[in-house]
């Protein structure tokens, strides 16, 4: 079967991971970045991701680095944009892409939060523009939210879903172009309550994270929240909601506690202080733990 030609724009954290999953599945990938330094590092990064997953690092031979956007996009069947999260920059990139690609090519953005419709505004062929929201790091996390904007064609969604499934990713169809799609809405709803609990002095940040990791988080990878409700019974969920929902945080914007932390420069591990204090060693141990966990899960999926 002929493999679709993929172009990935942006050779950063997300772009290199996205390029790796397509290279590993045997697709020719043209990777473009405006930074020659980022492009120079990309092939070794992709080989490193392959080794991590017991994939032949020779898969990086499917990669072609392109200094020029038009060169990367010209022969592409699918373009995935992973440049920084700036609306105007993405719009400029898509305007160039529309001119540089064949009309049948899919144009996908990996934006975390910018509405797909905003990125496609002003384009003549919005039916081929959609979101492909990979999770970080894309070579280890299988989920991709395929986001259909109001003018995205059904055919574009089906083609994107089929392509992602064919390379072992796990696409889901997000039927409306809403901020945060599905995953980030859920993640940040949880963070809103977590911050409110710490701000109110109910517990400290370490305790909060233990409750999640050692409590309901321990089963989240195998039991989604709606499955869990079905398991225990919706009548129980309703009874809990009757008592709880009105008491949950409903701040209309970011919590003042979060704003104060940022204003004080306490922005997280890189600064040694976020919701809690961090030594450099603790931060690096945590990163290693997360990587080990995700690598083990990704290897298990490949078996």
Ligand X SMILES: NC(=O)c1ccc[n+]([C@@H]2O[C@H](COP(=O)([O-])OP(=O)(O)OC[C@H]3O[C@@H](n4cnc5c(N)ncnc54)[C@H](O)[C@@H]3O)[C@@H](O)[C@H]2O)c1
Contact positions toward ligand X, by CB under 6 A?
9-15, 32-35, 38, 82-85, 89, 93, 110-112, 134, 136
Which residue, among 61, 125, 112, 106, has the nearest Cα to 83 in the 3D structure? 112
Which residue, among 172, 168, 164, has the nearest Cα to 6 in the 3D structure? 164
Closer to ligand X by Cβ: residue 17 or 197 = 17
Closer to ligand X by Cβ: residue 66 or 163 = 66
Is there a contact between 127 and 156 (Cβ–Cβ < 8 Å)?
A: yes
CB-CB neighbours of 18 under 10 Å: 29
Q: What is the closest distance, in whole angstroms, from the C-beta atom of residue 69 to ligand X in the complex? A: 6
Q: What is the closest distance, in whole angstroms, from the C-beta atom of residue 209 to ligand X in the complex? A: 19
Closer to ligand X by Cβ: residue 109 or 148 = 109
Q: What is the closest distance, in whole angstroms, from the C-beta atom of residue 251 to ligand X in the complex? A: 24
Closer to ligand X by Cβ: residue 39 or 196 = 39
Closer to ligand X by Cβ: residue 123 or 197 = 123
CA distances from 32 to 8, 83, 273 (A): 6, 10, 36
Q: What is the closest distance, in whole angstroms, from the C-beta atom of residue 103 to ligand X in the complex? A: 22
Instruction: Give me 42's structure tokens.
Output: 């990309």
Q: What is the closest distance, in whole angstroms, from the C-beta atom of residue 37 to ligand X in the complex? A: 8
The radius of gyration of the chain's CA atoms, rounded to the nearest angstrom, is 21
Q: Which residue is nearest to ligand X (CB)?
A: 12
Helix-helix angle 234-244:225-232, to 10 degrees: 110
Q: What is the closest distance, in whole angstroms, from the C-beta atom of residue 180 to ligand X in the complex? A: 11
Q: What DSSP assignment string belongs to 193-210?
A: HHHHHHHTTSS-HHHHHH
Closer to ligand X by Cβ: residue 82 or 197 = 82
Closer to ligand X by Cβ: residue 89 or 187 = 89
Q: What is the closest distance, in whole angstroms, from the C-beta atom of residue 71 to ligand X in the complex? A: 12
Closer to ligand X by Cβ: residue 93 or 160 = 93
The C-alpha atoms of residue 183 and residue 168 are separated, in whole angstroms, by 19
Q: What is the closest distance, in whole angstroms, from the C-beta atom of residue 38 to ligand X in the complex? A: 4
């Amino acid at each position: 079967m002929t493999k679709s030609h993929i172009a990935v724009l942006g050779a950063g954290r997300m772009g290199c991971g996205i390029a790796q999953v397509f290279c590993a599945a045997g697709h020719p990938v043209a990777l473009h970045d405006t930074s020659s330094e980022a492009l120079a590092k990309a092939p070794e990064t992709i080989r490193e991701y392959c080794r991590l997953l017991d994939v032949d690092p020779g898969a990086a031979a499917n990669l072609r680095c392109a200094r020029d956007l038009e060169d990367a996009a010209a022969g592409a069947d699918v373009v995935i944009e992973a440049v920084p999260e700036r609306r105007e920059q993405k719009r400029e990139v898509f305007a160039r892409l529309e001119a540089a690609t064949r009309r049948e090519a899919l144009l996908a953005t990996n934006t975390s939060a910018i509405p797909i419709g905003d990125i496609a505004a002003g384009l003549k062929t919005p039916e081929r523009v959609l979101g492909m929201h990979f999770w970080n790091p894309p070579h280890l996390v299988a989920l991709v939210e395929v986001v259909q904007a109001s003018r995205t064609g059904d055919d574009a969604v089906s083609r994107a879903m089929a392509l992602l499934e064919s390379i072992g990713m796990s696409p889901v169809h997000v039927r409306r172009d809403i901020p945060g799609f599905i995953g980030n809405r859920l993640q940040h709803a949880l963070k809103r309550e977590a911050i409110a609990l710490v701000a109110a002095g109910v517990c400290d940040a370490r305790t909060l994270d233990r409750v999640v990791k050692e409590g309901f988080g321990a089963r989240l990878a195998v039991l989604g929240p709606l499955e869990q409700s079905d398991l225990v019974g919706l009548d129980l969920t309703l009874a809990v909601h009757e008592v709880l929902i009105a008491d949950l945080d409903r701040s209309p914007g970011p919590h003042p506690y979060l704003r104060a932390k940022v204003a004080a420069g306490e922005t997280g591990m890189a600064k040694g202080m976020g919701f809690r204090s961090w030594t450099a060693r603790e931060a690096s141990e945590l990163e290693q733990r997360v990587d080990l966990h995700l690598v083990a899960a990704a290897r298990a999926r490949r078996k």
